Amino acid sequence: ECVAEAKKIANTQKIENDTKSDPIATSSTSSSVITENNEIPDQEKETTSSTKTEDTPTFLGSYTFSDSQFGTQVTVSVSESVRSIKSNALPNHETGNFPNPGNPNSISEQDTTYEFTTEPVYADSPTEVLTTGVAINGIKFEPGTAESVSCTSGEFYRIEALQGTYNLGLDLNNAHVQPTGEYHYHGVSRLLVDAFSSDMDLIHMGFAADGFLIHYSKSGVYESGYVLKNTPRTGTGCVATGPAGGTTVSIDGTVPDGTYTSDWIHVNSDTKLDTCNGTIINEEYTYLMTDTFPYIPRCLNGQVSASRPTGGSSPGLPRPGGAMPPDLTSVAEALGVDLSDLMSALGPPPPDLEAAALKLKIPLSELQSLIPGPG
């Protein structure tokens, strides 16, 4: 089925002839080029009906995306039920200044490749993930952080990226840069929304790692089911670890305000999005990015291959009572090391046990027996 020639998108992007496949759609501006194959797989045609118009690109088939102003290069190939995404991880829009006081890293070109199914299967239970998926422009969605607060009394609090207590150096796109130089989103980017917006309410933003699509609603009609807890936090002897600190933090008795992931709890409701910020629209399951927590889904309801980005003890979902996964206080006691030293050695999830064993100068087998790898 052919889709009509696509018009200009947000006055910044264009589509040109794809020499590899037909049918195609084309439009142009001075800096961006998109080449799209609109031969949409049969299993995805229903989804497109709710999110596209005759002159709006669908991005469900193979396409390439380049932007001469920002250096963006993305190639997406769809074949035999697999969507392969190759990206240099340079966004197609303005960014903040990096490095900055809250983020010491500089944006650099990457060589990233992702493979997601185009035939997603809804699973029996959600899977927590580190990388939720990838935007149409090739930038990954990674809402969790490496920063945390750990308490000698056993509590563990993952610091949220979008909060006002700790400066994590996010820019106008709710994004910042990892030590590797990779730019990534922690929340909704207005510039990304504008780049792919149409006259429809739902904007196709990207692809989740389980194969389902990720959308954003301009009207906000799809609301998150998460609310702040009303019980005070607990914890004594608490210290901020990672780039966020090394300083003592007052936790015990403080009121949840969204600073930490565990401040939030999901309330089941037929009128709200599910735990993974998803819902069924026109008989198709999809994820929503929202302006309130969790901003970007922290878990996936589809089957996720082990080869795709997942995390065992992910910084994603709120955990009851801010409990530490696993009980690192007991692990530290068993190893005879300080909790803060153990946390520092393990780093962000998933933990690098081999590197941690070297740092702590303990046998790897001993550490593995106390902290089993992801199942």
Q: pLDDT of 19-28, one tens digit each? A: 333 333 333 3
73 part of a folded domain: yes
Looking at residue 4, what is its pLDDT? 36
- Pairing type for strands 140-141 and 183-185 reads parallel
Domain ends where: 325, 344, 359? 325
18 part of a folded domain: no
Of 119 and 338, the one with more pLDDT? 119
Asked if 341 and 228 sit in the same domain, the reply is: no
Q: What is the pTM of this model?
A: 0.75
3 part of a folded domain: no
Asked if 287 and 302 sit in the same domain, the reply is: yes
Asked if 128 and 214 sit in the same domain, the reply is: yes
Asked if 290 and 362 sit in the same domain, the reply is: no
Looking at residue 274, what is its pLDDT? 96
Residue 170 reports pLDDT greater than 70: yes
- pLDDT tens per residue across span 90-139: 999 999 999 999 999 999 999 999 999 999 999 988 988 889 999 999 99
Looking at residue 341, what is its pLDDT? 75
How many domains are contained in the chain?
2
Please count the other Cβ atoms lying within 10 Å of the Cβ belonging to residue 232: 11
Asked if 319 and 351 sit in the same domain, the reply is: no
Asked if 251 and 344 sit in the same domain, the reply is: no
Asked if 87 and 112 sit in the same domain, the reply is: yes
**289: which residues sit within 8 A by CB, 6+ positions away?**
141, 187, 188, 205, 214, 215, 216, 277, 295, 296, 297
Q: Are 16 and 33 in contact (CB under 8 A)?
A: yes
Residue 306 reports pLDDT greater than 60: no
Asked if 198 and 282 sit in the same domain, the reply is: yes
- pLDDT tens per residue across span 195-223: 999 999 999 999 999 999 999 999 999 99
Residue 375 reports pLDDT greater than 50: no
Of 179 and 174, the one with more pLDDT? 174
d(CA 192, CA 178): 19
Looking at residue 5, what is its pLDDT? 35
Residue 172 reports pLDDT greater than 80: yes
Looking at residue 331, what is its pLDDT? 79
Domain ends where: 325, 341, 367? 325
15 part of a folded domain: no
Pick the closest to residue 121 from 306, 307, 304 (CA basis): 304
Three-state secondary-structure class, residue 127: strand
- Expressed as residue numbers, the domain containing 126 is 24-325
Domain ends where: 325, 340, 367? 325
- Find the mean pLDDT for residues 347-353: 62
Looking at residue 146, what is its pLDDT? 85
Looking at residue 48, what is its pLDDT? 36
Asked if 366 and 307 sit in the same domain, the reply is: no
Asked if 151 and 228 sit in the same domain, the reply is: yes
- Find the mean pLDDT for residues 145-163: 91
Q: Are 90 and 109 in contact (CB under 8 A)?
A: yes
Q: Are 279 and 295 in contact (CB under 8 A)?
A: no
Average pLDDT, the chain: 81
Residue 18 reports pLDDT greater than 70: no
Looking at residue 158, what is its pLDDT? 92
d(CA 204, CA 49): 12
Residue 366 reports pLDDT greater than 70: yes
258 part of a folded domain: yes
Asked if 316 and 349 sit in the same domain, the reply is: no
10 part of a folded domain: no
14 part of a folded domain: no
6 part of a folded domain: no
182 is written with which tokens? 């990779």
Looking at residue 3, what is its pLDDT? 35
Looking at residue 269, what is its pLDDT? 87
Looking at residue 324, what is its pLDDT? 43
Residue 238 reports pLDDT greater than 60: yes
d(CA 278, CA 302): 11
Residue 297 reports pLDDT greater than 70: yes
Q: In the Cβ-directed half-sphere of 5, how many Cα atoms lie within 13 Å? A: 6
pLDDT band with cut points at 50, 70 and 90 for residue 351 = low
Asked if 60 and 186 sit in the same domain, the reply is: yes
